[in-house]
Structure 1
């Protein structure tokens, strides 16, 4: 059976073609439109998928979409919101004013700077009137409950309008392609559970999903066994850890659903203890469930951000996310006795959270789906509807997008008047340039699917120089406090990372952090975050020989088995897709060298040797 999977259209619209449980193509519309997290019906991505795979419209048996009709979604979240109002009315708080007054006394005087912040104790300064309103709507019980109620109603109204809009666009798009009669819908969290379980290769696993909202839920627990998935618990929206983290992202001045990773980076500089008890007091966890007081009241986080340093707010939200989520997972690990977990949903993009889940006593193996956010739901839905039964091997890579011919590459190089060579040993030359201090972009093979650059659309640099986090981020227009991630030879994993056994495979997709060994800290300080962790991509030669060979040649020169790997794109742009995109980003980013296909190109203005 051949299934066309479409992710939700509201953001990061992504197309997948899955045949009998095998992913043969997957790519986001953003890679072709060049608009980050492109929404709407993915006309271009569908056409690219059909052309690349040689699929005709009549070859498609099913179109799978990971949401119910708008009427069903409305029914579910409306009922949930009514239950939430009863919870808010009966919630007994701990005296927020007293807690905040005590917390303020614990703010330290800091002198060591944080790159990207003007002052280490920098707060969100919104002016006197807004600060007063945040206090009223976010921290004064009688008014905050009213604000929370209005926020939930506003969310419901916006969600209803959104579901109606995207359903109309879905119907219109499918009709234009002659596919309107082949649509099958699937529960949103089931699509998340399906992508993580079916891609894992495990015979049996505890499927954990956590996100913002999906078909009435913000999370779920299922048991995957022998090719079948059975849900045993759902966390009802609005008690959403996704929304919880979106609120801190927004209150600190970043874009929700896009910049949550910046909060993870920022959190390592702060003291989580200053505010974590205040945040934890708003949660109730019983019998493996999660409830959160005033879950939709955005003014509470804004109130905290106006009175406490950004780094301490970020640190507290990160810690509380970890505490609540690990309590949730640990309950179900103990309840079911299953020691293998698979994760999906936007919350599991949080690599530090994934480390904490893997560290739970009783968890021996873990797999995180490489495209864990909603962009991966289309693949999960397609896997579910095309699964032939039984167990298949895990996916070995996420190179599911398009590739390009040498002729197409040459055409773009010549259009840009760039000189190029075709080295006999490209890997050795690239490694030598990196060893000598050059920044090298790599463009080769099929494009990665999902949010991570995994070698085929990657920028590489040696990790010996801690200062690279400032100057290379600045060159690429990125936030300075964000750490770079390393790519590491698979066989060197135990030399560089603690407690990696059981998570090696998911580390091939750069989806979890580990505590670094002293050797890693010494050899690759630029890839080790301030908290002593790194988010590696482990690379095997059989998965990507050209990429592997570069790191292996670098190891011969330096004795070091890791390099920095960061995504090949300009700030706020999608990862490059085509040779044109690669040449453009190479020139705009003032990178020293471009390894594109079998060719090597030096930047016209580079002084690197």
Structure 2
């Protein structure tokens, strides 16, 4: 059976073609449109998917979409929001004013600079009117309850308009391309559970999904066995860890659904005990469940951000995210006795959270779907509806996008007037250049599917120099609070990272952090965060020989089995897709060398 899966169109619209449980092609529209998290009907991705596979839309048995009709989605979330009113009436919050006074007394003086902040205790400076409004709508019970209910009403109105709009856009887009049969719709969280479980290789697993919203839920727990998935629990919206984290991202001046990773980085500099209890007092925890008080009131996080250092606000929200998620999951691990965990949903893009989940007693193995956000739901829907039954081996890579011929690469280089060579021993030459301190971009093979660059659209540098996090980010136009991630030879994983057994396959997709060994801290300080962790990509030769060989040759020269791997793109731009994208980004970023397929290209305008 052959199915076209299309992810939700509201952001990061993505196309996947799946045949009998095998993903033939998957790529996001953003890589072709060059607009980050592109929404709308994924026309270019669809055309590329059909061209790459040699198929026509008429060859598909089904088109799947991982949301219900707008009427059914509306019915679910309106029911949920009625339940929220009853919860708000019955919940007795702690005395916030005394909690805030106590928390303010805990804020320490800080002088150690944090790159990207004007001062380590920097707060969100707001004018008197804004601060007064946040104090009222975020902190005074009647006003804040009203703000929460208004936030829910506005969310529901927006969601209804959005679901209607994207349903019409989907139907019109498919009709333009000749598809006139019905669209197979499915429960959103089931599509998340399906992509993580069916790609994990586990026979039996506990499926955990956590996100902002999907088909009435903000999370779910399912038991999966022999290719079948059975839901055990649904976490009703608006009790959403995704919304919780979006609020703090917005309140600290960043863009929700895009910059949550910056909050993860900031959090390690702050003290979670200052505000952690303040946040937890607004949650009703139940065995294997929880409810969040005023879940749709963004003004509470803005209130905190106007009174406390950014790093302490970030630290508290990260701490509460970890506590709520791990308590929730721990209950179901103990109840079912299942030690294999598979994760999906936008919240599981939080690599520190995934480490805490893996540390839960009773969890033996973990797998996080590489495209864990909504962009991955199209594959989940298509996998579910084409699954032949039973269990297959786990996916070995996320190289599921397009590739390009040597002729196309040469054409792109010539169009830019770039000189190039074809070294006999390319990997050894690239390793030497990196070892000598050059920044090398690599473009080769099929493009990665999902948010992480995994070697085929990556920038490489040695990890011996911590200052690289400042100057290379500046060159690429980025501001980050986490260090660059390392790529590490699979064979060296235990030399570099603690407690990696059972998560080593997940680490091939750069989806989880680990505590670093002394060896890693000493030899690769640029890749180790202030909290002593790193988010590695483990690489095996059978998965990507050209990429692996560069790292193996570098180890021969340096004795170090890790390099920095950061995505090949400029600031706020999607990861490069085509040879033309790569040549342009290479020039814009003034990188020292570009490896494009078999070609080595020196920078004609060096930055230093």
**TM norm. shorter chain > 0.5:** yes
Alpha-carbon offset, residue 481 of structure 1: 2.1
Distance 2:55 2:255 in 1: 37
Alignment size in residue pairs: 608
Q: Which residue of 2 aligns with 1:336?
A: 336
Alpha-carbon offset, residue 180 of structure 1: 3.1
**Secondary structure of the equivalent of 1:38?**
coil
Do the aligned residues in 2 keep the contact of 1:61 with 1:182 (CA within 8 Å)? no
2:224 is aligned with 1:224: yes
Q: Which residue of 2 aligns with 1:454?
A: 454
Distance 2:480 2:570 in 1: 14
Distance 1:317 1:147 in 2: 20
Do the aligned residues in 1 keep the contact of 2:463 with 2:523 (CA within 8 Å)? yes
Alpha-carbon offset, residue 354 of structure 1: 0.1
Q: Cα RMSD between the aligned structures?
A: 0.7
Alignment of 1:64-83 (within 5 A): 64-83=64-83
**Secondary structure of the equivalent of 1:366?**
strand
TM-score, length basis structure 2: 0.99
Distance 1:60 1:255 in 2: 37
Alpha-carbon offset, residue 606 of structure 1: 2.0
Do the aligned residues in 1 keep the contact of 2:243 with 2:296 (CA within 8 Å)? yes
2:399 is aligned with 1:396: no
Once the two structures are superposed, residues 385-418 of structure 1 have per-residue CA deviations (whole angstroms, 9 ceiling, x without a partner) of: 0000010000000000000000000001001010
Do the aligned residues in 1 keep the contact of 2:262 with 2:480 (CA within 8 Å)? no
Alpha-carbon offset, residue 89 of structure 1: 1.0
Alignment of 1:337-352 (within 5 A): 337-352=337-352
Once the two structures are superposed, residues 243-266 of structure 1 have per-residue CA deviations (whole angstroms, 9 ceiling, x without a partner) of: 000000000000000000010011
Distance 2:94 2:174 in 1: 52
2:347 is aligned with 1:383: no
Alpha-carbon offset, residue 483 of structure 1: 1.3
Do the aligned residues in 1 keep the contact of 2:3 with 2:60 (CA within 8 Å)? yes
Distance 1:460 1:35 in 2: 24
Once the two structures are superposed, residues 484-543 of structure 1 have per-residue CA deviations (whole angstroms, 9 ceiling, x without a partner) of: 000000000000000000000000000000000000000100000000000000000000
Alpha-carbon offset, residue 480 of structure 1: 4.1
Do the aligned residues in 1 keep the contact of 2:590 with 2:607 (CA within 8 Å)? no
2:252 is aligned with 1:252: yes
Alpha-carbon offset, residue 607 of structure 1: 6.9
- Structure 1 gaps of 5+ residues are none
Distance 1:56 1:296 in 2: 44
Do the aligned residues in 2 keep the contact of 1:469 with 1:481 (CA within 8 Å)? no
Distance 1:394 1:240 in 2: 29
Alpha-carbon offset, residue 287 of structure 1: 2.3
Q: Which residue of 2 aligns with 1:269?
A: 269
TM-score, length basis structure 1: 0.99
Q: Which residue of 2 aligns with 1:176?
A: 176
- Structure 2 gaps of 5+ residues are none
**Secondary structure of the equivalent of 1:334?**
helix
Alpha-carbon offset, residue 285 of structure 1: 1.5
Q: Which residue of 1 aligns with 2:58?
A: 58
Q: Which residue of 1 aligns with 2:520?
A: 520
**Secondary structure of the equivalent of 1:508?**
helix
Q: Which residue of 2 aligns with 1:241?
A: 241
Distance 1:14 1:607 in 2: 36
Alpha-carbon offset, residue 310 of structure 1: 0.3
Distance 1:497 1:402 in 2: 33
Alpha-carbon offset, residue 182 of structure 1: 4.3
Once the two structures are superposed, residues 91-118 of structure 1 have per-residue CA deviations (whole angstroms, 9 ceiling, x without a partner) of: 1111011100110001000000100000
Q: Which residue of 2 aligns with 1:555?
A: 555
Q: Which residue of 2 aligns with 1:85?
A: 85
Once the two structures are superposed, residues 419-469 of structure 1 have per-residue CA deviations (whole angstroms, 9 ceiling, x without a partner) of: 000000110010000000000000000000000000000000000001111
Moved over 6 A (4+): none
Do the aligned residues in 2 keep the contact of 1:474 with 1:480 (CA within 8 Å)? no
Distance 1:30 1:462 in 2: 29
Alignment of 1:441-480 (within 5 A): 441-480=441-480
Q: Which residue of 1 aligns with 2:497?
A: 497
Alpha-carbon offset, residue 179 of structure 1: 1.6
2:51 is aligned with 1:39: no
Distance 1:251 1:542 in 2: 44
Distance 1:36 1:563 in 2: 26
Distance 2:123 2:6 in 1: 41
**Compared CA separation, residues 80 and 480, structure 1 to 2 (3 A):** closer
